[in-house]
Amino acid sequence: MDYNQTFAKEVYEKVDSGDEIKVCMQCGVCGATCPLRGEMKYGPRQIWSLIRAGRRDEVLNNPDIMLCTSCYTCQVRCPRGVPIMEVMHGLAHYALAQGIVPRAETAKFGKAFWEGIYDTGRVDEAVVPIKYCLQDGLVAGLKKSLGMMDIGLALMKAKRMKPKMFIPPNIFIPGVHKIKGVKQLQRMLDKAAAIDAAKEA
Amino acid sequence: MDYFLYYGCSLEGGGVHYMISTEAVAKALGINFHEIEDWNCCGASIAYIGGNEMQSIVLNARNLALAEAQGGYDIVAPCSSCYIMLNKVNRELQAHPKLMAQVNEILAEGGLKYSGQIRVRHILDLLYHDVGVEKIKAAVKKPLTGVKVAAYYGCQTTRPFGEYDSCENPHTQDDILAALGAEVVEFGHRVKCCGSGIFLTEIDKCAYLVKDIIESAAAGGAQIISTACPMCQMNLEIYQQRVNAITGANLNMPVVFVTQLMALAFGGDKDGAAALNRLVVPSGPALQAVGA
Ligand code: SF4
Ligand code: SF4
């Protein structure tokens, strides 16, 4: 393999927790314990290898970096103490910030989730799925939400969901609960974003 | 015993039966829960998609600061994801004064300040270590004799810190269920991941995780699975039909919260305190031995 340090340096400096992979000894315990390794082309160990080899496009476009369930199995077993999960999330976040979308559905859901937090301070289970579905446009969004109707109805029957949850045209939901300090929270999040943006630039 | 109960977003919706049964259990055991006034979402394990690391830290630091200003009780999280997010940030802030100072500058935007005095606990930690198995046993009015249950821990209930129970071989939930009189079965997949926050959007892949967990519990002789996390309960329970369609499995396993079984054993009404009517997969024969 050809070694080119430019991309590795980029990862160490700009990706959240990226510099932690420096101590990896390539033992492979992470991949061997990952519940979704069978669904990945590369596990964490191989991704770190590709980073060291300077394969920027291959790493950032690799859907594996967004298939981490956050289960911490690898992390508690890594003999070198690499916070593997944080690095995987850091890489996914970094790719998304560059406009690359390693996994479309998870990216859309995560975006809707984050917007829910930013707009109201909490995640309203009545709003996030609607936002998630509507990112594909109204027609596709309707179709997607109809596909989830069985789950929605089952939850409604069990009185575990408000009826409006899977009704996409209901975009302007009145009375969505906002925390009292939502404005201050937004100011805090903006300030935090500015700090990390300076790092990523 | 005074604590903050950090409700988190799912206890108001899909995990409402967790909230109902937790409140009933607290009452029976003399636990006094307070709400953190104006708490915000912890970001869960999926905040990284829209937010960056510092934003995640700030979300959780705000809750810690609010708790500190409102009485400083330990924060108890029934959701494993909330527990890990709050706990992880708390530990980082306590260990790194420079980060704490930086975060406090940001919290000042809302007139808040955090000094690092709060402890974050999982509800299993509270039940096992503060209440204790003996006191739980003493509160049992209707023992769960003949109930064959699998204690499922999943991922973030004990990982990565292993503060109150072992990461690899936890026992707290097993011991609590045994104290209720239930028969706790052995099974291999007790700490395997269910797919967590990406389950729904990557269901073609995660369906096999759920299949393996439930089949492993069934092979151990379980008729019902007990969990201590709303994400586990949801992923294992409500998508079983879909998992069957994807994997060709034949799952039909009731999945409850450990607090629902506690409420039942403490003599609570099956559809009241134990909230069994909130299940998508009915408890059916699994709890017939105790008349529920
Ligand atoms: S387990 Fe740790 S040391 Fe081993 S390959 Fe993975 S990251 Fe590297
Ligand atoms: S934390 Fe992510 S990478 Fe590590 S074992 Fe779990 S799913 Fe795999």
Give yes or no for residue B59 having a pLDDT over 90.
yes
Q: Which pLDDT does position A168 carry in this prediction?
A: 43
pLDDT band at B76 (very low <50, low <70, confident <90, very high): very high
Average pLDDT over residues B145-174: 95
Average pLDDT over residues B96-104: 97
Q: Which pLDDT does position A172 carry in this prediction?
A: 43
Averaged pLDDT of chain B: 95
| Residue of minimum CA distance from atom 2 in ligand 2 | A68
B28 CB burial (10 A radius; 0-12, 13-18, 19+): buried
A147 at B interface, C-beta within 8 A: no
- CATH 1.20.1050.140 domain extents, chain B: 2-123
Cβ-based neighbours of B79, under 8 Å, separated by 6 or more: B6, B8, B10, B11, B15, B229, B230, B231
- In chain B, the percentage of residues whose pLDDT exceeds 90 is 91
CA distance A96 to chain B (A): 7
Task: Convert the pLDDT of each residue in A47-92 to its tens digit.
Answer: 999 999 999 999 999 999 999 999 999 999 999 999 999 999 999 9
Among left, alpha and beta (phi > 0; psi -120 to 50; other), residue A159 is left
Report d(CA A133, CA A144) in Å as an integer.
6
The partner residues of B150 in beta bridges, in order of sequence, read B225
Q: Which pLDDT does position A137 carry in this prediction?
A: 72
A68 lines ligand 2 (CB under 6 A): yes
Contact call for A71 and B277, based on CB within 8 A = no
Domains of chain A are 5-97 (1.10.1060.10), 104-200 (no CATH)
Q: Which pLDDT does position A167 carry in this prediction?
A: 44
Which residue, B149, B135, B221, is CA-closest to B179?
B135
pLDDT band at B105 (very low <50, low <70, confident <90, very high): very high
pLDDT band at A196 (very low <50, low <70, confident <90, very high): confident
Q: Which pLDDT does position A3 carry in this prediction?
A: 67
Cβ-based neighbours of B125, under 8 Å, separated by 6 or more: B76, B163, B164, B165, B172
Give yes or no for residue A10 having a pLDDT over 60.
yes
Give yes or no for residue B81 having a pLDDT over 70.
yes
Tokens describing residue B227: 């969990």
Which ligand 2 atom is nearest residue A75's CA?
4
Give yes or no for residue B164 having a pLDDT over 90.
yes
CATH code that applies to domain B2-123: 1.20.1050.140
Place of tokens 């109805």: A153
A66 lines ligand 2 (CB under 6 A): no
Give yes or no for residue A2 having a pLDDT over 70.
no
Chain A, nearest residue to B16 by Cα: A160
Q: Is the dihedral of CA A167, A173, A178, A184 positive or negative?
A: positive
Out of A157, A161, A197, whose CB is closest to B14? Answer: A161
pLDDT band at B242 (very low <50, low <70, confident <90, very high): very high
Averaged pLDDT of chain A: 86
Give yes or no for residue A201 having a pLDDT over 80.
no
- CATH 3.40.50.11810 domain extents, chain B: 135-290
A69 lines ligand 2 (CB under 6 A): yes
Top-confidence residue, A171 or B121: B121
Report d(CA A160, CA A144) in Å as an integer.
21
Give yes or no for residue B28 having a pLDDT over 90.
yes
A13 at B interface, C-beta within 8 A: no
Average pLDDT over residues B170-179: 98
Report whether B211 contacts B247 (CB < 8 A): yes
Cβ-based contacts of A195 with chain B (< 8 Å):
54, 102
Architecture of domain B135-290: 3-Layer(aba) Sandwich (3.40)
Strand order in the sheet with B32-35: B32-35, B2-5, B75-77, B120-122
Q: What is the ipTM of this complex?
A: 0.92
Q: Which pLDDT does position A198 carry in this prediction?
A: 76
Report whether A85 contacts A33 (CB < 8 A): no
R_g (Cα) of chain B, nearest Å: 19
Report d(CA B116, CA B106) in Å as an integer.
15
Maximum C-alpha span of chain A: 58
A146 at B interface, C-beta within 8 A: no
| Residue of minimum CA distance from atom 5 in ligand 2 | A34
pLDDT band at A145 (very low <50, low <70, confident <90, very high): confident
Q: Hey, which bits of chain A come out as E strands?
A: none
User: How big is chain B, counted in residues?
Assistant: 292
Task: Convert the pLDDT of each residue in B252-282 to its tens digit.
Answer: 999 999 999 999 999 999 999 999 999 999 9
Give yes or no for residue A129 having a pLDDT over 80.
no
Tokens describing residue A96: 């998304």
Give yes or no for residue B138 having a pLDDT over 80.
yes
Which ligand 2 atom is nearest residue A84's CA?
4
